Chain A
Amino acid sequence: MSEWFRVFKQGLSIENPLTVLMIGLCATLAVSTQFQNALFMGLAVIFVLTMSNVLISLFRKAIPSEVRIPIFIVIIAAFVTIVDLVMKAFVPGVYAVLGIWIPLIVVNCIILGRAEAFAYVNGVGLSIADGLGMGIGYSTVIVLLAFVRELFGTGHIVWFEGTLISLPSGYAPPSLLLLFPGAFLVFAFMIVGARWINERFEARKEAAACRP
């Protein structure tokens, strides 16, 4: 069980797909202009990542290594299409904005990367931990990024029809934050923050290990 939590925590911290491994950035930077959309994007990634990890690790002994990539892609594409159809049917407002980025999860390297590097060589339990950890790690970063960009780029956070938070009306939002340079700037600060947190934890762990 402690192994399960170790793998789960890795996705959130020292192996975070966005701030540490830095994969799957394209969709992240593009989608993180709105808090609400980023949240749904995160949920979609958690679902696809966990489900594809489970299936691939379940059948990993039956998947010949020569054709593993096509099989991974078919499995991932199937789950992405399921998410795509379900979102279209139940949250059309969100789907209208996320649009092409949902189908593009298929080629998101986080998912194929975890299938190849983790699920294909580990058991089902650990693969679930990896999928959830990586998925939640991804979602935390993209949601935080979108929160900062939307709040300071437009002056308020929108949730479906309503407004969650509004900055005082005197605030003139710089639209730079909503454009790609803003995405890179905010993301750079998030990487700094993530490194700082990770290093502090590492230092604490080392200090604990040195104690007699």
Chain B
Amino acid sequence: MKNALRLVVPVLVTCIVAAAGLAVTYKVTEPKIAEQDRLAEERSLQAVLPDATFTCLESSRIQDDIDAAAGPVDVLDTFHAAIDGKHAGWAVKVASRGYGGPMVVVIGLDTSGSVSGVTILSHNETPGLGTKVITDEWFLEQFPTLEAGFTDADVRNLDAISGTTKSSNGVRNGVAAAGRVYTEVLSGLGEGGFE
């Protein structure tokens, strides 16, 4: 018994001290981290639909429909965008599978459902290779050429970057999913139906 205590007490003390230290660090950094996440999200929303104010859709009923429409791609958030109080479109935040894990892609859609912009919020692709989907600007810039009512086949017809197929597909699958979400769910909501 005495021997057990001799072993247990140091481990216990170490764990308690470590936990206390981590609690303090967490408390200090938590607001900063939340702020950084919010800023990053805000930046990518602004990039896909400039000057709009975004409200997150929070209806669980719609969420089921959205998930069904998106298929294998995870829809993390759907935002309604308004400029000066008027309906201006939608932004869809999806997690799509790239080469190094999920890529979080934000897709902006205008009121007619055509793509207004695409940004990549976070990813874990190979630097210098998979990251070409961001650094080769023409790749993301080709998505706004998609017209309203675009289908999966239209997205597949866009160019991928050679040597970066998996990452390119990650982005394309994300955009295709956003297109399906628009056609099957968002377009039916109408202007005032987003509450």
Which residues of A are interface residues toward B (Cβ below 8 A)? 33-34, 37, 62-64, 66-67, 70-71, 74-75, 77-78, 81-82, 85-86, 88-90, 92, 96-97, 99-100, 150, 153-154, 175, 178-179
Q: Chain B residues near A89: list those with CB within 8 A.
A: 29, 32-33, 36
- Can you list 23 contacts pairing A with B, beta carbon distance less than 8 Å? A37-B127, A64-B6, A64-B10, A66-B7, A70-B11, A74-B18, A81-B22, A81-B25, A85-B25, A85-B29, A86-B29, A89-B32, A90-B32, A96-B123, A97-B124, A99-B124, A100-B124, A150-B128, A153-B128, A154-B128, A178-B126, A178-B129, A179-B126
Q: Tell me the nearest residue of chain B to A87, going by C-beta.
A: B29
Q: Which of B26, B127, B129 has the most CB of A within 10 A?
A: B127
* B21 and A71 form a contact (CB under 8 A): no
Residue B40 at the chain A interface, CB threshold 8 Å? yes
Tell me, in angstroms, the Cα distance from A137 to B122 when the chains sit together. 31
Which residues of B are interface residues toward A (Cβ below 8 A)? 6-7, 10-11, 14-15, 18, 21-22, 25-26, 29, 32-33, 36-37, 40, 122-124, 126-129, 163
* A71 and B126 form a contact (CB under 8 A): no
- Shortest CB-to-CB span from B116 to chain A, Å, is 24
Query: Given known contacts A33-B128, A67-B11, A100-B124, is B163 in contact with A78 (CB within 8 Å)?
Result: no
* B36 and A78 form a contact (CB under 8 A): no
Partner of B36 from the list A88, A97, A179 (CB cut-off 8 Å) is: A88
Q: Chain B residues near A62: list those with CB within 8 A.
A: 10
Tell me, in angstroms, the Cα distance from A185 to B25 when the chains sit together. 40
Tell me, in angstroms, the Cα distance from A86 to B128 when the chains sit together. 26
Q: Chain A residues near B25: list those with CB within 8 A.
A: 81-82, 85-86
Q: Chain B residues near A99: list those with CB within 8 A.
A: 124
Query: Given known contacts A85-B26, A89-B29, is B21 in contact with A63 (CB within 8 Å)?
Result: no
Query: Given known contacts A64-B7, A92-B40, is B29 in contact with A34 (CB within 8 Å)?
Result: no
- Shortest CB-to-CB span from B100 to chain A, Å, is 9
Q: A-side binding surface: helix, strand, loop or mixed?
A: helix
- Shortest CB-to-CB span from A44 to chain B, Å, is 14
Query: Given known contacts A70-B11, A75-B14, A82-B25, is B127 in contact with A33 (CB within 8 Å)?
Result: yes
- Shortest CB-to-CB span from B73 to chain A, Å, is 20
Query: Given known contacts A63-B10, A85-B25, A85-B33, is B40 in contact with A175 (CB within 8 Å)?
Result: no
- Shortest CB-to-CB span from B119 to chain A, Å, is 13
* B29 and A78 form a contact (CB under 8 A): no
Q: Tell me the nearest residue of chain B to A88, going by C-beta.
A: B33
* B21 and A178 form a contact (CB under 8 A): no
Q: Chain B residues near A64: list those with CB within 8 A.
A: 6-7, 10
* B7 and A178 form a contact (CB under 8 A): no
Q: Chain A residues near B126: list those with CB within 8 A.
A: 33, 178-179
Q: Chain A residues near B36: list those with CB within 8 A.
A: 88-89, 92
Q: Tell me the nearest residue of chain B to A78, going by C-beta.
A: B18
Q: Tell me the nearest residue of chain A to B26, going by C-beta.
A: A85
Q: Chain A residues near B40: list those with CB within 8 A.
A: 92
- Shortest CB-to-CB span from B32 to chain A, Å, is 4
Q: Tell me the nearest residue of chain B to A36, going by C-beta.
A: B127
- Shortest CB-to-CB span from A71 to chain B, Å, is 5
Partner of B127 from the list A34, A70, A88, A100 (CB cut-off 8 Å) is: A34
Closest 4 CB pairs of A and B: A89-B32, A78-B18, A89-B29, A154-B128
Tell me, in angstroms, the Cα distance from A206 to B173 when the chains sit together. 64
Tell me, in angstroms, the Cα distance from A81 to B33 when the chains sit together. 14
Q: Chain A residues near B15: list those with CB within 8 A.
A: 74
Q: Tell me the nearest residue of chain A to B36, going by C-beta.
A: A92
- Shortest CB-to-CB span from A116 to chain B, Å, is 16
Q: Tell me the nearest residue of chain B to A30, going by C-beta.
A: B126
